[in-house]
Amino acid sequence: MTIGKRLRLAGMTTKVLLFLCFWLTATGTAYSQGGALDSLGRRFGRYQQAALHEKLFLHLDRPLYLSGETMWFKAYAVDGTSCKPLLMSTVAYVEVLDKANRPVLQGKIPLKQASGQGSFVLPASLASGVYTVRAYTAWMRNFGPEYYFQSPVTIINTSTASGVAVSKDSTAYDVQFFPEGGNLVQGLSSKVAFKVTTKAGTGAAAEGKLLNQSGAVVATFKTLRFGMGNFTFTPQAGTTYTAQLTLANKQVVKRKLPPVYEQGYVLRLESRGANALALYVSATNTQPETVFLLAHSRQQVVVAVKGQLLNGQAIFPVDASQLADGISHFTLFNADQKPVCERLYFQPPKTKLTINARADKSQYTTREKVSVDLGAVAANTQALTANMSMAVYRLDSLTTAPTTDINSYLWLASDLKGTVEHPEYYLTATSPEAAEAADNLMLTQGWSRFRWEQALAPMLAAFPHLPELHGPLVQGRLTQAGTNQPVKSILTYLSSPSRLIRLQSALSDADGSVRFELGDLYGAKEIMVQTDPQQDSTCRIELFNSYSSQYAPAATPRFAPLIRFQQDYAKRHFQNQVQNAFADRARNRYLAPVVDSLAFYGKADETYLLDKYTRFKVLEEVMREYVPGVLVRIRKDGFHFLVVDRLTRSTFNDNPMVLLDGVPIFNVNKIMAMDPLKIQKLEVITSRYFHGLAVYSGVVSYTTYKGDLEGFKLDPRVLVQQYEGLQGQRDFYAPRYDTPQATQSRLPDLRNLLYWNPAITTGTAPTKLDFYTGDQAGRYMVVVQGLVSNGLAGSASFTFEVKPTL
């Protein structure tokens, strides 16, 4: 199916349609040169329109799992500019990576109305450790793995973790320095931010001093929050600088500062009060020079001003009320329109979503009903319709890590490089210390999802990964056998044997690339790719991996089972084994996906259920006796089918597209040799059929009883490959103790996850949810994440107690 046809069929927002139309044309369009400032703004605006900003957030049901348990998650897809639900991608790729970035679990999660849900059963053989869960769409692959959703989770294999002694680990610290604006320049005063982190990626407190090469102290400093801080000094020519830091454990660490440049620019941002910012530019060149300041907030250009450097100095006042909520990027360009300095600034969202979540009681007994009321309101207390997910899990000594909340992720953490420690702090704290901490974060973890030379190029480069509008896209390449040279303009067909007749066709482009849109293909399938031997019989077909092979560096803490938790490991191991023994069947129930059972060619002109006819032992007799719309002819090379066009009453001269369980069969002799008793149904299209760029002289489609080709031997040139389609939706099972018989059941209920609901919709009145406690006493955490159609996001959490039944 062509892109244009997909757009006509897609039920999508106007914004996405405009973006796609722009993407198709912008890659070959260059802007005429006007004024330098106007040119910068227009070129960047053109890039941002083409590079639609998409984000994914994953709500994981809990931060810690046991091998053998089920990990549940809910995916939210949003527009990165407004945080509104984005109805573009229909597939989210979710992976669990080990410490070496090897995927141990992978799944394609269908997205409908900008959200989706999925699960992984963690293999019992999975080793204990801290793993990374990451999620992305095909479109997000154009902007690098740093932009994917990533969250660490702990997985414990209680079969091996219990009782393991821990050897001492030599603690390593990472110390980094970040000059404001980008570089240290001799003779120019610079603010330098720094960050001290442990091996686990958490901030560490430290005090330090900056020494020149003679050992003299030129500055002193200490961390503020989360291991970050800053100091100001003026580097001198020909001098190297070393920072000496003393950590809380009295360990001394020395690190060299970045090099000092002889020529360059320094950019400094200062707050002048409410909504008043000033950006100071210093340069070593004292000659007058025109410079440009461009600021973009959440992919929208908000400031574009020109200034003059006089005696190497310039000031740009900025009204902060012009900036959008979240992170703004300030970039300084020199007279040649080359970026020379960059600075980030954070402004917490002004409007917040409040999720009201409360239980009917604070304390329950085992196997008792819990009722939770949910609602979402904005600052004006108006109730809003929200898309939510909720998890309820037991707290113990092993489950201590906080879960990532959707609001701080979308507005802060997703726009920064690396892991942000306690991102919610920067959105909730209001003290002056919080503002300074946020500024240190901008200085130390700044990141841009594009390169300026890419954004300002005269002509935009095409993005290699298309958005998946209607299910997964399978991409491949045709090359000449033995030479690896691309083969273009060859029709290629992809199919998967089934009683649901699906066929995809694609024409290879100049570099031999082909793309197939699979639609609602669920579960593990066998896919087959081939070309028509009459058009090409020698090319090599290669299919690409659907998952990203690029990985962002992530600071995941080393897992080490502690002796003091030995009893906890043993207890969790027992609980897990009991649950697996008594509730294993319930955890693998799947909800049947709703799929279109109509064949790709629609309703057939002629349909024959062969069991309603006298069964012949030779397919030739079946065709001649029962199928008047298809003429059987024998020529020198064997059998041919000629379809009678019902519109013109004439006969096509070429063979139709012949299918067996949806798989193209180009050799009619082979299909005629098949046992007709294996065929249940025959359908015929008695007109010319246009299928993308392919044109068929009718269609003759055979369907077997099982839809598995019934042992038919395919041409050896057909590429047959295993393919994992969309993940089916596993049904979350939890027992209900709403009758005396259920309450008195002797089956043990040792669940640590009491409740998981990824599909909650609140309205103007509170939404009531009910579930039951199990047999385990203790404290339980309720975590709710939610998103509103206007882009407001929020989360809520509370705890309740379960006491043993007396």
The enclosing domain of 199 has a CATH number of 2.60.40.10
Residue 573 pLDDT level (bands cut at 50, 70, 90): confident
Structure tokens belonging to residue 176: 């980094």
Residue 755 contacts residue 362 (beta carbons within 8 Å): no
pLDDT of residue 742: 92
Q: Is residue 161 part of a domain?
A: yes
pLDDT at 280 over 90: yes
Residues facing residue 632 across a β-bridge:
641
> Do 71 and 120 belong together in one domain?
yes
Q: Which of the residue ranges 211-215, 292-296, 518-522, 590-594 would you say has the lowest mean pLDDT?
A: 590-594
* Residue 505 to residue 760: CA distance in whole angstroms: 39
Domain boundary among 198, 230, 261: 261
Residue 60 contacts residue 151 (beta carbons within 8 Å): yes
What are the backbone dihedrals phi and psi of residue 38, each rounded to the nearest 5 degrees, phi first? -60, -40
Domain boundary among 562, 583, 604: 583
SS3 content of the chain, % helix, strand, coil (to 5): 15, 40, 45
Q: Side chain identity at 750, as an amino acid letter?
A: L
Domain of 140, in residue numbers: 54-167+550-583
Q: Which of the residue ranges 275-284, 348-357, 486-495, 532-541 would you say has the lowest mean pLDDT?
A: 532-541
What are the backbone dihedrals phi and psi of residue 121, each rounded to the nearest 5 degrees, phi first? -85, 115
Percentage of the chain beyond pLDDT 90 is 70
Structure tokens belonging to residue 32: 């005429």
Q: Is residue 155 part of a domain?
A: yes
> Do 60 and 146 belong together in one domain?
yes
pLDDT of residue 22: 43
Average pLDDT over residues 720-725: 95
Judged by DSSP in three states, 674 sits in coil
Q: Is residue 571 part of a domain?
A: yes
Q: Please write down the HEC assignment for all residues of 169-208.
A: CCCCEEEEEEECECCEECCCCEEEEEEEEECCCCECCEEE
> Do 71 and 163 belong together in one domain?
yes
- Quick one: which of 541, 548, 537, 534 has its CA closest to 513? 541
What are the backbone dihedrals phi and psi of residue 789, each rounded to the nearest 5 degrees, phi first? -60, -20
Average pLDDT over residues 567-596: 73
pLDDT tens sequence across 373-423: 999 998 777 889 999 999 999 998 777 777 889 999 999 999 998 889 999
Residue 593 pLDDT level (bands cut at 50, 70, 90): confident
CA angle 515, 519, 524 (to 5 degrees): 95
Percentage of the chain beyond pLDDT 70 is 92
Q: Side chain identity at 410, as an amino acid letter?
A: L
User: Strand (E) positions, 298-451?
Assistant: 300-309, 313-319, 326-333, 339-347, 354-359, 363-365, 369-377, 386-395
Contacts of 621 (CB under 8 A, 6+ apart): none
> Do 151 and 192 belong together in one domain?
no
Q: Is residue 63 part of a domain?
A: yes
* Residue 755 to residue 753: CA distance in whole angstroms: 6
Which DSSP string do the residues of 638-657 spell out, in sequence order?
EEEEEEBPTTTS-B-SS--E
Structure tokens belonging to residue 361: 């009681």
pLDDT of residue 37: 84
Structure tokens belonging to residue 133: 């869960």
Residue 331 pLDDT level (bands cut at 50, 70, 90): very high
- Quick one: which of 268, 279, 271, 277 has its CA closest to 319? 277
Residue 301 contacts residue 37 (beta carbons within 8 Å): no
Average pLDDT over residues 159-176: 60
> Do 148 and 197 belong together in one domain?
no
Q: How many CA atoms lie within 13 A of 475 on its CB side?
A: 15
Structure tokens belonging to residue 51: 């590079």
Average pLDDT over residues 231-237: 94
pLDDT tens sequence across 431-487: 889 999 999 999 999 877 778 888 888 888 889 999 999 999 999 999 998 888 999
pLDDT at 219 over 50: yes
What are the backbone dihedrals phi and psi of residue 436, each rounded to the nearest 5 degrees, phi first? -70, -40
Q: Which of the residue ranges 102-106, 287-291, 397-401, 456-460 would you say has the lowest mean pLDDT?
A: 397-401
pLDDT of residue 5: 37
Structure tokens belonging to residue 699: 């269609």
Q: Where are the alpha helices (DSSP H) in 450-565?
A: 452-455
**Residue 621: count of CB within 10 angstroms of its CB:** 14
- Maximum separation of any 2 CA atoms in the chain, in Å: 103
> Do 73 and 145 belong together in one domain?
yes
Q: Alpha-carbon torsion 101, 104, 109, 114, what sign?
A: negative
Q: Is residue 379 part of a domain?
A: no
pLDDT of residue 191: 96
Distances (CA, A) of 281 to 83, 250, 269, 315, 341: 33, 39, 9, 6, 9
> Do 68 and 138 belong together in one domain?
yes
Provide the CA 683 distance to its chain's centre, in angstroms.
41
Q: Where are the alpha helices (DSSP H) in 372-498?
A: 406-411, 425-428, 432-444, 452-455
Give me the number of domains the chain comprises. 2
Residue 588 pLDDT level (bands cut at 50, 70, 90): low
Judged by DSSP in three states, 146 sits in helix
> Do 90 and 143 belong together in one domain?
yes
Domain at 104, CATH number: 2.60.40.1930
Contacts of 676 (CB under 8 A, 6+ apart): 610, 615, 616, 617, 618, 619, 622
- Quick one: which of 699, 692, 686, 652 has its CA closest to 492? 692
Residue 275 contacts residue 320 (beta carbons within 8 Å): yes
Q: Is residue 208 part of a domain?
A: yes
**Residue 481: count of CB within 10 angstroms of its CB:** 11
pLDDT tens sequence across 674-688: 999 999 999 999 999
What average pLDDT does the structure give for the chain? 89
> Do 162 and 220 belong together in one domain?
no
Residue 775 contacts residue 750 (beta carbons within 8 Å): yes
pLDDT of residue 21: 45
> Do 162 and 208 belong together in one domain?
no
Residue 720 pLDDT level (bands cut at 50, 70, 90): very high
Q: Is residue 92 part of a domain?
A: yes
> Do 107 and 197 belong together in one domain?
no
Residue 624 pLDDT level (bands cut at 50, 70, 90): very high
> Do 255 and 208 belong together in one domain?
yes
Q: Is residue 463 part of a domain?
A: no
Domain boundary among 207, 232, 261: 261
pLDDT of residue 484: 87
pLDDT at 806 over 90: no
